[in-house]
Chain A
Amino acid sequence: MIAHAIFFYTFSIIAVVSAIMVTASKNTVHSVFFLILDFISISCLFIMIGAEFLGMIMLIVYVGAVAVLFLFVVMMLNVAQQKNQWFAGEQSSRHIPVGLIISTLIFFEIIIVIGGWKYKPEIFDINNSITQTSISNTHSLGQVLYTDYIHVFQISGMILLVAMVGAIVLTFRQRSGLKRQSYIKQISRERAEGVEVLEVQSNKGVKIDD
């Protein structure tokens, strides 16, 4: 039990400290690295409470894909040189009230959810669903995800699809004047249409179309 506690506190301290460092560190790329460290320690915590599937998906989706794209954008935009000024200057201090309001809202939401879960368990559907310990975590997740929560699951999938299509539509632009490579055209080209023998007259030259 002591080993369990040691690991739990190590991971949670790393998670909290790196979450603070995400906002506090001066270099934006360092912020992203701290975010990655945060994700990893949270997935370790998930694994410790037995939610192994969730922990692994957290690693694959957030650390393996989302954070890579974050890093990608931060590096490409060259914001690394921009120093992150914390509570300094007129610009950033204007955002403090908005930030405070949002964080208080989130704080109260968490308190309501956790308090309700603790003291009024009957209003939460989760407690009524199957939580057998005999079958594995992944197995039980699959059993409820595609039966009780199939509509929620499908709707969240649709939302993601709409977001993806929307992002592609927003960034897609058709550029004219580009020569695109067409594999079918290249392979199906015959010698007859590719090579032409011309009689070149002196001082006239040859005009090549296209």
Chain B
Amino acid sequence: MEYLSIVFQEVYKILFLLVPVLVSVAMIVWLDRRVWAFVQKRQGPNVVGPFGLLQSLADALKYIFKEIIIPSSSNKVIFILAPIVTMTLALIAWAVIPFSATQVLADINVGILYLFAVSSLGVYGIIMGGWASNSKYPFLGAIRSAAQMVSYEVSIGVIIINVLLCVGSLNLNDIVIAQQNMWFVIPLFPMFVIFFISALAETNRPPFDLPEAEAELVAGYQTEYSGMMYAMFWLGEYANILLMCAMGAILFLGGWMSPIDVYPFTLVPGAIWLILKILLLFILFALVKAIVPRYRYDQLMRLGWKVFLPLSLIWVVLTASYLFYFNLLPVN
């Protein structure tokens, strides 16, 4: 009985985390379309509900009532598994995100490695979907996406090493607390820029959305999907984008800490600050989508391997030598 009550308590905590995440994913889709529209001097979705806030809910209802079509020559098990894998991986990563010093579902020692591992697994949903569809466009999209995500993961990993050198711990809460005096965005500004661009590529956002480039590949790996399965891909994608924003906020923008450590700001709970920082990064994501043209594939690969990787490696050497020379290495 005691064991069951612990299980229920955990389930309650998980629901309390996941339901807001899912609702905010729906809201963020609306925000994305709205920002995109404003940049182009349009109105965007503004009909359903106040300011069109309920647009995503209406879309979700539409997807639920649509028929799920499974192509007859597809590999059915993997075809159905693919959107499930995408969405599950996008959601389990939220377990380690700290919303304040105590509000975290799993305060594990290797939090940042866990985040990195889960985001690197995200490519499987896309590969599985692309391969199982047994069709040309999804397959090409999946291959593009696999190569792209593996390449940009490398530079994200090296950037994380930069931050870890300054922190001396893999725990996400320790990373946030290490930024008490100065956010890492100031000393590591070039790394923040590279992280932001790599995050765009890692989540297949424009200008790096070649896996689903509609002019060339219809909808890439999602071409054969319909109804709720398509919606799950879509939810997983946006949950991943939010996750990358959260990662950027924790690594560079001080996570749940208030910008200035003075009285009225410290009253605001940490979760609000984290959400504001995530929103700021997300609006940047949306603006980039609206103002930048799509990259060509060879340019994308060149940027990842020949520009970002050497730059971030050089920055690791610089950070390490600086910390070592001025005796600032975190020793505990």
A72 touches B109 (CB 8 A): no
Q: How far is the CB of A34 from chain B (nearest CB, A)?
A: 12
- Listed by A's residue number, 14 A-B pairs whose Cβ atoms lie within 8 Å are A29-B131, A53-B113, A56-B110, A56-B113, A59-B120, A60-B113, A60-B116, A64-B121, A68-B127, A69-B150, A71-B131, A72-B146, A75-B127, A76-B143
**A interface residues with partner B (beta carbon < 8 Å):** 3, 29, 33, 36, 52-53, 56-57, 59-60, 63-65, 68-69, 71-72, 75-76, 136-138, 181
Q: How far is the CA of A56 from the CA of B139 in the complex (A)?
A: 29
A75 touches B110 (CB 8 A): no
Instruction: Given contacts A33-B78, A33-B128, A68-B124, list 10 more A-B pairs with CB under 8 A.
Output: A52-B110, A53-B110, A63-B120, A64-B123, A64-B150, A65-B120, A75-B143, A136-B109, A138-B110, A138-B170
Q: Does B209 contact A (CB under 8 A)?
A: no
Closest to A53 in B: B110
B123 touches A59 (CB 8 A): no
B150 touches A68 (CB 8 A): yes
Q: Does B16 contact A (CB under 8 A)?
A: no
Residues of A within 8 A of B237 (CB): none
Q: How far is the CA of A76 from the CA of B144 in the complex (A)?
A: 12
Chain A interface secondary structure, helix, strand, loop or mixed? helix
Closest to B299 in A: A181
- Which residues 53-96 in B have Cβ within 8 Å of A in the complex? 78
Given the contacts A33-B78, A75-B131, A3 and B3 also touching, CB distance less than 8 Å: yes
Q: How far is the CA of A138 from the CA of B153 in the complex (A)?
A: 21
Residues of A within 8 A of B298 (CB): 181
Number of A-B contacts (CB under 8 A): 60
Q: How far is the CA of A179 from the CA of B135 in the complex (A)?
A: 32
Q: Does B108 contact A (CB under 8 A)?
A: yes
Q: Does B117 contact A (CB under 8 A)?
A: yes
Residues of B within 8 A of A138 (CB): 109-110, 170
B110 touches A36 (CB 8 A): no
Of the residues A59, A64, A69, contact of B153 by C-beta under 8 Å: A64
Q: How far is the CA of A68 from the CA of B139 in the complex (A)?
A: 14
Residues of B within 8 A of A75 (CB): 127, 131, 139, 143
Q: Does B114 contact A (CB under 8 A)?
A: yes
Q: How far is the CA of A181 from the CA of B124 in the complex (A)?
A: 33
Residues of A within 8 A of B109 (CB): 52, 136-138
B170 touches A71 (CB 8 A): no
A60 touches B120 (CB 8 A): yes
Closest to B127 in A: A71
B78 touches A65 (CB 8 A): no
Residues of B within 8 A of A3 (CB): 3
Q: How far is the CA of A71 from the CA of B143 in the complex (A)?
A: 10
B150 touches A56 (CB 8 A): no
A36 touches B170 (CB 8 A): no
Residues of A within 8 A of B123 (CB): 64, 68
Given the contacts A65-B153, A75-B131, A56 and B117 also touching, CB distance less than 8 Å: yes
Q: How far is the CA of A64 from the CA of B3 in the complex (A)?
A: 34
Residues of A within 8 A of B108 (CB): 52
Q: How far is the CA of A66 from the CA of B147 in the complex (A)?
A: 12
- Which residues 128-180 in B have Cβ within 8 Å of A in the complex? 128, 131, 139, 143, 146-147, 150, 153, 157, 170
A59 touches B117 (CB 8 A): yes
Q: How far is the CB of B308 from chain A (nearest CB, A)?
A: 16
Q: How far is the CB of B198 from chain A (nearest CB, A)?
A: 15
Closest to B117 in A: A59
Closest to B123 in A: A68
Q: How far is the CA of A64 from the CA of B157 in the complex (A)?
A: 12
Q: How far is the CB of B182 from chain A (nearest CB, A)?
A: 25
In the complex, per-residue mask of B100-119: 1 if CB is within 8 Å of any chain A CB, else 0: 00000000111001101100
Q: How far is the CA of A26 from the CA of B153 in the complex (A)?
A: 32
Q: Which of A36, A56, A138, A181: most chain B CB closer than 10 A?
A: A56
Closest to A33 in B: B78
Residues of B within 8 A of A56 (CB): 110, 113-114, 116-117
Q: Which of A59, A69, A181: most chain B CB closer than 10 A?
A: A59
Q: How far is the CB of B112 from chain A (nearest CB, A)?
A: 9
Q: Which of B116, B120, B157: most chain A CB closer than 10 A?
A: B120
B124 touches A36 (CB 8 A): yes
A71 touches B153 (CB 8 A): no
Q: How far is the CA of A59 from the CA of B114 in the complex (A)?
A: 9
Closest to A64 in B: B120
Q: How far is the CB of B48 from chain A (nearest CB, A)?
A: 39
Given the contacts A33-B78, A36-B124, A65-B120, A57 and B113 also touching, CB distance less than 8 Å: yes
Given the contacts A52-B108, A56-B110, A71 and B146 also touching, CB distance less than 8 Å: yes
Residues of B within 8 A of A65 (CB): 120, 150, 153
Closest to A136 in B: B109
Residues of B within 8 A of A36 (CB): 124
Closest to A80 in B: B131
Closest to B153 in A: A64
Q: How far is the CA of A60 from the CA of B131 in the complex (A)?
A: 22
